Each structure stands twice: as structure tokens, then as C-alpha cells.
Amino acid sequence: MPEDFWGNAIFSVTPTIVIGLIFWFAMRAIIRADRSERETYSEIEAEERARLAARPDPHE
């Protein structure tokens, strides 16, 4: 373990920063995946609505 002030300060803060960065990357990945999933679901839903709207009504 370092004996000087700045070495101790860096040694003390580094684990917190590393854990924070890991947490930030994980949350970013989750949020981006959710956003992509919602966009894909909206596109599929729009395609299905367009397909159903183009289909002739069998009751007419």
C-alpha cells in the first residue's frame, strides 16, 4: 500500500470509480436494449396493423 498522501487517495478512490463505471455500462446496456426492443415492437405492430387494414373485410 502506498505511503504518501496522493497514492493513498488514488488507491482509496479507484475501486469506487471502477465499480461505478461497471454499473454505468450495465445500466446503459439495459436501457439501450429496452429502447431497441420497444422500437422493434412498434415496427412489427405497425406492419401488422397495415396488413390487417389492407385485408378485405369478409363480412362485406
pLDDT tens track for 13-26? 999 999 999 999 99
The ranges assigned to domains in the chain are 18-53
- Measured CA to CA in angstroms, residue 42 lies from 16, 27, 33 at distances of 39, 23, 14
Query: How far apart, in whole angstroms, are the C-alpha atoms of residue 31 and residue 25?
Result: 10
Percent of all residues in the chain with a pLDDT value above 70, rounded to a whole number: 93
Q: Is the pTM of this model over 0.75?
A: no
Give the mean model confidence (pLDDT) for residues 20-44. 97
- The DSSP letter of residue 55 is S
Query: How far apart, in whole angstroms, are the C-alpha atoms of residue 15 and residue 55?
Result: 60
